[in-house]
A and B are shown apart, each in its own frame.
Chain A
Amino acid sequence: MNEKIKNIAVVALMSIIVFGLFVTCLIKPADEYSETERRPLDQAPELSFNTIFSGDFMSRFEDYTLDQFPFRDGFRTIKAASALYGMGQLDNNDLYIHDGYIAKVEYPYNKDSIDYANDIFNNLYTKFFEGKDMNLYMTIVPDKNYFLADESGRLSLDYEALVSNVIAGNPNLTYIDIFDKLEIGDYYLTDTHWKQESILDIAQYLASQMGTTLDDEYELKQVEGEFKGVYYGQFALPVKTDTLKYLTNPTIENCIVYDYQNDTPMDMYVFDKATGRDPYEMFLGGALSLVTIENPNAETDKELIIFRDSFGSAIAPLFSEGYAKVTVVDIRYIQSAFLERFIEFDDQDVLFLYSSLVLNNSSTFKR
């Protein structure tokens, strides 16, 4: 190949790519949602005199072109592969894979965030629990990085400081340590969460610490198809997927579950969501501000209130056996001022169940 042919090849090859993608950008219909990233995609901005002169059109157009770029997922895969395997980076957008598990490098320990969470919990204590005959508990669910960081050589939170700060900041809550009762196998490969079928012993342990015994037998069932967790799409490389399993028995099947956010009865496991955008939302309907689980066959009139993040969705059903009513509250979606409309704080057990991920990024908590 002489110089002239090389020049022709350079110009032709680059023109094909640039003009090819240019034309594809113009003719490709806009997608509304990214299944892999689980988020709505930016749409074409409004073109007007005002939006142009304010600069709004330009900045939104850039976002739009990034979101709607042809073969977007393929390009994201190329980027992830280049960063991790070409450039030798230890994580791609803070995600890494070790032993088949995708985990996030959650770092550093955010003391301000823990202080804020403590402040929120103390406000709840002052408003609803102080001076009442209530047993108050707190547990923290470690994120996957807790198990993987050391052996994979990644950075991790100062978990000791995090737990100490939470304990010190909430002197009225009894801390139940579950760190050493969990292992990486209790979590999904491609998702942040723990697997319900692996945490029955955790539920039993927490219940026992709260003075309740759980000893029901469960049947393990499986949702058809593969489960691609939240990290699957973010990681952008092809990896082994999970299966979504759940525990059930007559107690769970007979429970009456009510979604106060949408003011509607619901099932403990919402199977429509198992095939939706976030299959983990199958457990107790996912991100809902207030849900109650009533067990009409309970042998006790004890009640439990769980202040929780998404990790609570899979474990809350397992407590239904030991309580007449389990109230599940997510203060990321409801302000505490509204809680008394739905809950009469009296003599219930209260469990604060939060993952280290959420505690370390607690700005979403509402006062």
Chain B
Amino acid sequence: MLFSSIPFMYYFLPCVLLLYMAAPKCLKNSVILLSSLVFYAWGEPKYVILMAVTIAIGYGAGLLIEKAKTKAWKRAHLIWSVGICLAFLGYFKYANFFVANFSALTGISVNMLQIALPIGISFYTFQIVSYIIDVYRADVAAQKNIINFAAYVTMFPQLIAGPIVRYADIAVQLESRTHTLTDTSLGIRRFMVGFAKKILIANTLGELCDIFKATDDKTVMFYWLYAVAFALHIYFDFSGYSDMAIGIGRIFGFKFIENFDHPFISRSVTEFWRRWHMSLGSWFRDYVYIPLGGNRVSKPRWFLNIFIVWGLTGFWHGAEWNFILWGLYFAVLLVIEKLWLLKGLNKMKVLNHVYVMFFVLISFVIFNASNVTEAFRYVGGMFGIGATGFVSDEFFYYLRSYGPMLVLGIIGSTPLVKNVCTKLSQSPKTSKVVNILEPIALAALLIVCTAFLVDGSFNPFLYFRF
């Protein structure tokens, strides 16, 4: 089920909120668990079993690791449990990728497996794996209550698209949390920001991307318009979903980690990745990069670690070569920055932003391609190779039609709006007006977003496939 859908907003959410409010404290996690299972089953009824098995493995492994008396046994429990979790992920997400590549390499025809990607498997597998590793490292105590553990993994606000919430971050809140008017209000406000980002900006720019993909008249300028539109689309889509997740979590008394911090204002690609999908970046840092030795190794090994991490990051996003290419593309940029550019970039004022946006735009064109061939074709088109010309009427039409939304998206992707709102609400002269207008503005946003949902059919969510 999508957050940005009528069934979620006007059927599921009200029911869950009523149940949650009515439930005594000791049953609140059970309500979250049950509602999360319904939420998940809504899209993938049969894969609830797979998720339940993975949860059971994570839960059991945590207890076994904690109870194991020797380091060897702890390690053994870590290996089998993480191995099975990753095997599930590998089979359901990557089996067909390997089959297709095996066939292509050897010429031996192997039938593709008839398996659909279970929604959110990358997210919940990473959560469970991080939990098992944290228990193994004795960073957290194993969760004894399976309801609490299952509620942590399945928690519907973040189940299918993150942020990748670490168990350590909400372990205390799972046992005991408070519900306040302030948290509820802040949660609603955050949810509404995400809801509007997704429905009004991301979906609208997504239409432009689809128009570009469908047209035969792909001029150089249209390629660049598409690149800008898609970069904004994916940012508002994913960060909007993260905002909604964080907002709902807050209503239920949880404080999830932030996932985005205005990545498009970065001065370097290194900084970009500290601001983009932060929960995934920190997961790879803590569970892959640092265990590999991080940067406390020889230079060649350091760079190899970077390539391994970024290859895996790309592969995590999808079982296609263009995702791996996308990850390695960033590895190359990061290595170049670490070797030569980083200090200079941090001192610049304008050129560094141009540099970051140039490479980020290209990266998302690679990211959104159906395969490597299309990725090269699209990137080539941005520089005139294979384009139908430099500019066309079609480009101008869509630039005019989507221009206001692009400008709004560009402004909205900077901290400007947030800063202005904060200043206005803190200023004694304007705070009263802001306080009166904010609830009205939120209600108006909800009505307008609902209108877009009722009218529109374009509402896919990108990170479902990951």
Question: Is B308 among interface residues, defined by CB-CB distance under 8 A?
Answer: no
Question: Is A82 among interface residues, defined by CB-CB distance under 8 A?
Answer: yes
Question: Is A47 among interface residues, defined by CB-CB distance under 8 A?
Answer: no
B45 touches A90 (CB 8 A): no
Question: A53 and B181 in contact (CB under 8 A), knowing A9-B439, A75-B451, A82-B451?
Answer: no
Contacts of B182 in A (CB 8 A): 3, 7
Chain B proximity mask over A67-95: 1 for CB below 8 Å, otherwise 0: 00100100111111011001111110100
CB within 8 A of B10: which of A6, A25, A93, A108? A25
Question: A18 and B432 in contact (CB under 8 A), knowing A58-B43, A65-B7?
Answer: no
Task: Name the interface residues of B112-128: CB closer than 8 Å to any CB of A.
Answer: none
Rounded to whole Å, the gap between the CB of A60 and the closest CB of chain B is: 11
Question: A62 and B454 in contact (CB under 8 A), knowing A17-B447, A53-B46, A108-B217?
Answer: no
Chain B proximity mask over A245-269: 1 for CB below 8 Å, otherwise 0: 0000000000000000000000000
Question: Is A178 among interface residues, defined by CB-CB distance under 8 A?
Answer: no
B448 touches A78 (CB 8 A): yes
A10 touches B455 (CB 8 A): no
Contacts of B404 in A (CB 8 A): 87-89
Contacts of B5 in A (CB 8 A): 62
B451 touches A10 (CB 8 A): no
Rounded to whole Å, the gap between the CB of A70 and the closest CB of chain B is: 9
A7-B42 Cα distance, complex, nearest whole Å:
32
CB within 8 A of B455: which of A8, A79, A91? A79
Question: Is B279 among interface residues, defined by CB-CB distance under 8 A?
Answer: no
Rounded to whole Å, the gap between the CB of A153 and the closest CB of chain B is: 7
Chain A proximity mask over B276-313: 1 for CB below 8 Å, otherwise 0: 00000000000000000000000000000000000000
A10 touches B6 (CB 8 A): no
A75 touches B455 (CB 8 A): yes
Contacts of A9 in B (CB 8 A): 439
Question: Is B405 among interface residues, defined by CB-CB distance under 8 A?
Answer: yes
Question: Is B13 among interface residues, defined by CB-CB distance under 8 A?
Answer: yes
Chain A proximity mask over B174-204: 1 for CB below 8 Å, otherwise 0: 0000000110110011001000000010001
Contacts of A25 in B (CB 8 A): 10-11
A155-B454 Cα distance, complex, nearest whole Å:
27
Rounded to whole Å, the gap between the CB of A57 and the closest CB of chain B is: 9
B393 touches A155 (CB 8 A): yes
Task: Name the interface residues of A1-21: CB closer than 8 Å to any CB of B.
Answer: 1-11, 13-14, 17-19, 21
Question: A10 and B9 in contact (CB under 8 A), knowing A2-B435, A82-B452?
Answer: no
Contacts of B424 in A (CB 8 A): none
CB within 8 A of B454: which of A7, A79, A86? A79
Question: A153 and B400 in contact (CB under 8 A), knowing A13-B442, A62-B7?
Answer: yes
Question: Is A22 among interface residues, defined by CB-CB distance under 8 A?
Answer: yes
Contacts of A100 in B (CB 8 A): none
A18 touches B394 (CB 8 A): no
CB within 8 A of A10: which of B216, B438, B448? B438
A82 touches B448 (CB 8 A): yes
In the complex formed, the residue of A with least CB distance to B402 is: A89
Chain A proximity mask over B28-53: 1 for CB below 8 Å, otherwise 0: 00000000000000111110000000
Question: Is B70 among interface residues, defined by CB-CB distance under 8 A?
Answer: no
Rounded to whole Å, the gap between the CB of B196 and the closest CB of chain A is: 11
B454 touches A72 (CB 8 A): yes
Rounded to whole Å, the gap between the CB of B433 and the closest CB of chain A is: 9
Task: Name the interface residues of B423-466: CB closer than 8 Å to any CB of A.
Answer: 432, 435-436, 438-440, 442-443, 446-448, 450-456
Chain A proximity mask over B397-416: 1 for CB below 8 Å, otherwise 0: 10011111100100000000
Question: Is B14 among interface residues, defined by CB-CB distance under 8 A?
Answer: yes
B454 touches A69 (CB 8 A): yes
Rounded to whole Å, the gap between the CB of A362 and the closest CB of chain B is: 18
Contacts of A220 in B (CB 8 A): none
Given contact pairs A62-B6, A153-B397, enumerate 6 new A-B contacts (beta carbons under 8 Å): A3-B182, A10-B442, A14-B188, A55-B44, A65-B7, A155-B394
25 A-B pairs whose Cβ atoms sit less than 8 Å apart in the complex: A10-B189, A10-B439, A13-B442, A22-B15, A55-B43, A62-B5, A62-B7, A66-B453, A69-B10, A72-B454, A75-B451, A76-B454, A76-B455, A79-B448, A82-B200, A82-B448, A83-B204, A88-B403, A89-B404, A89-B405, A90-B397, A107-B394, A108-B215, A108-B217, A108-B394
The 3 closest A-B pairs by CB, nearest first: A7-B185, A88-B404, A78-B451
